[in-house]
Amino acid sequence: MKIKFFPIAVFMLLIMNKSQAQIDYNNVPEVTQKIFINDANIQKNPSTNLGIGDILIEDGLIKQVGVQLTPPIDAKIIEADSAYAYAAFIDAMSHIGIPKSDEKRKRPDVKFKGFPPNKVAGITPQLKASSFIEHDDASIKSLRESGFAIAHVVPRGKMLPGQGSVISLSGSSSQDMIIKDNYSMFLQFTGASGVYPNTIIGVMAKWKDLYYKAHYHNKNLQSYKINSSGIKRPKEDKVLNALIPVTEKSMPVFMKTNKAKDIFRAIALQESTGYPLVLGDVKQIGGAENKLKEKNLTVLLSVGLPKAEKEEKKDSTITDESKKALMKRKKESYTAYLSQAAQLEKAGIPFAFSFLSSKPKDLKTNIQKLIKHGLSTEASLAALTTNPAKILGIDKIAGTIDKGKLANIILTDNPYFEKKSRIKYVFVEGQMTEIKEVKKKKKGGARGKGKENLIGKWTYSVDVFGTQQTGNLTISEDGDDLKIEFIADSNPDEISEGRDITYEDGNLTYVVTVDGGGQEMDIEISLDFEGDQFTGTASMEGMESLPMEGNKISSPEK
């Protein structure tokens, strides 16, 4: 999320995976030519359950699906024992497999800030996600073990990072993984730092300018091909060339639109041109449902959810009526957030899930919350299988358990959306991975020196050139990681989160992206904890560091 004012936005926090297990891909099981899954409860698609049956996999494809099939004598037999078989999931948009850059960003040395080089401005549509994907990246294993077989991966970057690729989550090299290369164009309202376009309005204007330049550039190229006599040869332009498929309506634009106002902006950009548009990583629909249905647009909901506000204890000091009203509004806001998916289902608006700002391991827990708030299990499964398959144009080869499709299947011990269910096997194009049950470690194990003291609720205060901006933040456990959320006193209805946190020897660091009145900026935070207090700074490129401090209010109940 983003906050409207820079000083408050300094405190946006979200923990990303800090520690990833080392992976030895030499130990990944080899593809077996024939696999026979015996006696599985087969959910062929979100609306059709075959009951107890068998599945024959051969050469990475589903060869047969039916009841009481006879296994080939040379097939490896997997006794499902009535385990539940589903089509493996499809990640509709993420950065999976693309490591974050270790390079520290510096303010670019640009003479004319209104006309920076395209790369400095974050305009690189010619770049391909497939060029950055590392097949052995830990995030790919994590996604696969969460039940996914296919992902639509987009590059990291600013306004126009580049082209997305649809990949299989198996393969001995990045090239082996590609299902569809150069499939999409990824666009977001993220401006450049210190140069144009550095505001949302600037990004919108720049996108329009690039679109129409690419349109006329294409016309010139076509005219030159037909008759080059007496015509000056068009100059090669890799940026405009990359955008030509968008102008020809043959390449969809996937646009990151976290909030309702972003949705309306994205629609406004698309209305005059008509390119295929998919709204990605949506967190707040607001009042955009009617517009979405009118324009027949597809939505990719973010899997990330805010943390529920806990009820205050009876002996709580919160007795003031205004504070009680605040708690009520927070609860209503949280309920509305979790009801959005059900509202989309009711309105008949197709949607899938994206993972730009969330983790695969949160998937089932968060979908269970959506189901409790009205989303059907059928629509939930469709959002993970058939819907993303249609959105990505791969529904003929993936998304259901049908003869002739890719052997992308998961087996679970109980119905997937039940709380205690777990994935036992994942098949990606016939390549089988058994998911071993991991015993949960007792608390207090390998969590890092002093890290447990961070868990709880804290006050914060930032000195913005003599003015104190205050609020509360909550630090909680998220598996082996941390999760931090905060509420600014000046904007009590909005729960905000940050990202990329590391903790070592009492020092907590993280990066936040903020909306400073139309300009998106990255801010680096460093906090030093000692007992029930912390001090630190918020630093942004080209600006003076702002001092921060805070105190612990409460620890979790034991």
**Residues 324-375: tens digit of each pLDDT:** 777 777 788 888 889 999 999 999 999 999 999 888 888 999 999 999 999 9
In a domain? residue 198: yes
In a domain? residue 27: no
With beta carbons less than 8 A apart as the criterion, state whether 381 and 48 touch: no
In a domain? residue 51: yes
Strand 76-79 and strand 533-540: pairing?
A: unpaired
Whether residues 179 and 300 fall in one domain: yes
pLDDT of residue 27: 43
Whether residues 39 and 156 fall in one domain: no
Whether residues 425 and 508 fall in one domain: no
Q: What H or E segment, with its residue span, contains residue 79?
A: strand 76-79
Q: Which residues neighbour 442 within 8 Å (Cβ) at sequence distance 6 or greater?
A: none
Alpha helices, DSSP H only, in 273-376?
Answer: 289-295, 321-338, 340-347, 363-372
In a domain? residue 25: no
pTM value is: 0.76
In a domain? residue 364: yes
pLDDT of residue 18: 32
Query: CATH number for the domain including 265?
Result: 3.20.20.140
Long-range pairs for 50-56: beta carbons < 8 A, 24 or more residues apart: 52/82, 55/85, 55/401, 55/409
Whether residues 94 and 83 fall in one domain: no
Whether residues 458 and 550 fall in one domain: yes
Number of domains within the chain:
3
Whether residues 415 and 386 fall in one domain: no
Query: CATH number for the domain including 455?
Result: 2.40.128.120
In a domain? residue 158: yes
DSSP string for 172-186 = SSHHHHEEEEEEEEE
Whether residues 337 and 459 fall in one domain: no
DSSP string for 143-176 = HHHTTEEEEEE----SSB-EEEEEEES--SSHHH
Whether residues 177 and 199 fall in one domain: yes
Query: Could you tell me which of 342, 440, 448, 352 has the C-alpha nearest to residue 393?
Result: 352
Q: Tell me which DSSP letter residue 306 carries.
A: P
Handedness of CA 36, 37, 38, 42 (dihedral sign): negative
In a domain? residue 542: yes
Residues of the chain with pLDDT under 50: 1-32, 315, 441-448, 542
pLDDT of residue 106: 61
Alpha helices, DSSP H only, in 444-504?
Answer: none
Give the structural domain span for 509: 6-20+444-554
Whether residues 294 and 354 fall in one domain: yes
In a domain? residue 437: no
Whether residues 358 and 421 fall in one domain: no
- The strand pairing partners of 85, in sequence order, are 42, 411
Whether residues 78 and 129 fall in one domain: no
Long-range pairs for 201-207: beta carbons < 8 A, 24 or more residues apart: 201/518, 203/159, 204/265, 204/268, 204/269, 206/121, 206/123, 206/159, 207/159, 207/160, 207/269
Whether residues 306 and 423 fall in one domain: no
DSSP string for 20-64 = -----GGGSPPPPSEEEEEEEEEEEETTEEEEEEEEEEETTEEEE
Query: CATH number for the domain including 82?
Result: 2.30.40.10
